[in-house]
Structure 1
């Protein structure tokens, strides 16, 4: 039985805990929520009746925070942490067994724990809302930049097409005139090769700027993938890399532009070949889910660092040495996938390498 003085002392501890927790939440930096949660756990420990023996555990999907544990077995009071009406964690406050039982907890302590869990849930909700706002704002900014860049690059591509065609045509004519001069022919071949490379960059600009007409039709994409891999066999052989297609079905129907799908496959497989070591294997996997078709391309290369991963789909961003990449390949892929209302992402392969995953919705 508690005396009036003991009860008053416990109420003061509970009110102090509520005040300190509220202060921690109000002044919380959403980029450093873990620090606030650590402070909340310490406040809870001090608020309990037998604080020297109290053990507190806070668990959510992202955080696990505990106070020092003195014994192996505890009896707990527990309350859920609810985020957007879903239980996504809990806080447990315990006393060691057999020294204490559930009867040693106060009714007010359960009420205090419920209130603290409610406040923590609200904090994590606000953190998630802020992160979503930042993510949406970045997506909008990126879309605006891509739209403006698309308009600019479309104009540049149109302007470059004619002079490059002239360069190729006149260089071929000049080769016929100087065919007895080996050095001149060699130099002219360099001009032709570099012009062809530039023309390919212009094609990528056109794809990126969505200037290429799109012709969607429902087709079985398995033969398209097989043909794309077959066309890459020479490149694969020259680099000592194998490519294997994995599919559980011979027919995977999808409404898509077959030329653009081939463009996506070429870009991703060429990238995979470039970064793959000799005698490694590139895996191309395609399968159906309820509302989508999933295409995965996995290599065994060096992988993409977490620092570079957020930028790989940006135009003109490349991890290849200068002169070996235009930085448009993955931007083109990203643009094509988005124009089909799909999603593309990259993750680390195990033990090494990168996996590109594309999800096309079924229409």
Structure 2
């Protein structure tokens, strides 16, 4: 082969490589992140065409989420490989291989290895941008939800304060009337219904005030493990009623926390009773405490139906419930959210495996 032909072939290969890089850049620039797998597939075929022996070349792009290959090939074959990184962390590989026994690793050009490196960097950049976009959407949702809950808290606090006075009047005058009708049993029964309804309404108002963080706190140092154990012992009949087991997992024998002990018990009661309600018979509920440098963490896991994505943003709103009418007014989780917020903590939920929900509550060490 003459030097002229060799130079000509090299020029052709360089043109193919430059065309490939231009094509990859165009694909990435016009990429729809909702159909990113299609973009990665286009990149794979564009890269395949840039190789010297393109007909015998197979390109495979494998990441944590995607596996795309231009053709099937034997497991034992000459390959070159480049690592795909997202935020400086390896998440996959870009591989080029020959589906031809006559070709070896030496058949790959040095420039082809460089091209593989450049394309793997571009794929990594593409996946980074997708992650950034997803995080921006998630952050926007969190901000919107925080705004909604903040506004809801202000409205709720106002409603609670407005209701307190008329409820106190109803209760007071009903008690007063009762003393005047001691001998009239029917009237006394009717007044008892009014009094009980007023007391029930006052408890609802109190829960609304918990949600709005309007209840003054008595902060003391408590051993969280002891508080949980005492609360679970009181709930023993509820566990037995549905034949549900519970498991207590304490990272340390003593985990101290600055908290309003009564409100902490209310959080535990609400969360565990909720888990019992949604758990199937013979299910298991796990209550776990963890202690790290900055937070004390309480995890409550059940094996219920889980939380559907469509309602995930609503479960902490007052009066929102998935329970049938009569089984709950939808204040349990909103009260829990209010108490945790007043302690500068957070509550999140994620799917349990294979089914159910894990609620994770973090209390900061103040």
Q: CA, structure 1 residues 285+46, in 2 after alignment: closer, same or farther (shift >3 Å)? A: same
Deviations 1:71-117 (A, max 9, x none): 22122222222323333332111124743221100111112112212
Partner residue of 2:262 out of 252, 259, 263 = 259
More off after superposition, 269-278 vs 229-238: 229-238
CA distance in 2, matches of 1:307, 1:227: 35
TM-score (norm 2): 0.87
Structure 2 partner of 1:213: 216
In the alignment, which residue of structure 2 is the partner of 1:77? 80
**1:275 is matched with which residue?**
278
Mapped partners of 1:306, 1:83: distance in 2:
27
Equivalent residue, structure 2, for 1:231: 234
* Residue 305 (structure 1) aligned with residue 308 (structure 2): yes
TM-score (norm 1): 0.87
Matched, 1:161 2:129: no
Q: Is the 8 A contact 2:213 2:341 kept in 1?
A: no
Structure 1 residue 120 displacement after superposition: 1.7
- Cα distance in 2, alignment partners of residues 99 and 360 from structure 1: 64
> Which deviates further from its counterpart, 258-267 or 276-285?
276-285
Residue 45 (structure 2) aligns with: 42
Match of 1:204 in 2: 207
Residues 49 and 316 (structure 1), Cα distance of their counterparts in 2 relative to 1, 3 Å cut: farther
Secondary structure at the residue paired with 2:307?
coil
Shift of 1:158: 0.8
1:111 aligns with 2:82: no
- SS of match in other structure, 2:61: strand
**Are the counterparts in 1 of residues 246 and 286 from structure 2 also a CA contact under 8 Å?**
yes
Which residue of structure 2 aligns with residue 14 of structure 1?
17
Distance apart, 1:156 and its partner CA = 0.7
CA contact (8 A) 1:342 1:359 kept: yes
Unpaired runs of at least 5, structure 1:
none
Match of 2:138 in 1: 135
**Cα separation, 1, equivalents of 2:257 and 2:176:** 45
Partner of 1:101: 104
Distance 1:232 1:46, change over 3 A: same
Higher alpha-carbon deviation: 19-28 or 187-196: 187-196
* RMSD of aligned Cα (Å): 2.8
Structure 1 counterpart of 2:347: 344
Q: Does 230-239 or 269-278 show the bigger shift?
A: 230-239
Aligned residue number for residue 25 of structure 1: 28
The answer to whether the Cα contact below 8 Å between 2:208 and 2:318 also exists between their aligned partners in 1 is: no
> Shift of residue 188 of structure 1?
5.1
**Residue of structure 2 in register with 1:92 after alignment:** 95
> How far 1:26 sits from its partner (Å)?
0.7
Please say if 1:147 is aligned against 2:150: yes
2:111 aligned counterpart, secondary structure: helix
CA contact (8 A) 2:145 2:313 kept: no
Asked if 2 retains the 8 angstrom alpha-carbon contact of 1:73 and 1:96, the reply is no
**Cα distance between partner residues in 2 of 1:135 and 1:88:** 22
Say if 1:278 and 1:187 are closer, same or farther in 2 by CA, change over 3 A.
farther
Query: 1:217/1:53 Cα in 2 relative to 1: closer, same or farther (>3 Å)?
Result: farther
Q: For residue 285 of structure 1, what is the aligned residue in structure 2?
A: 288
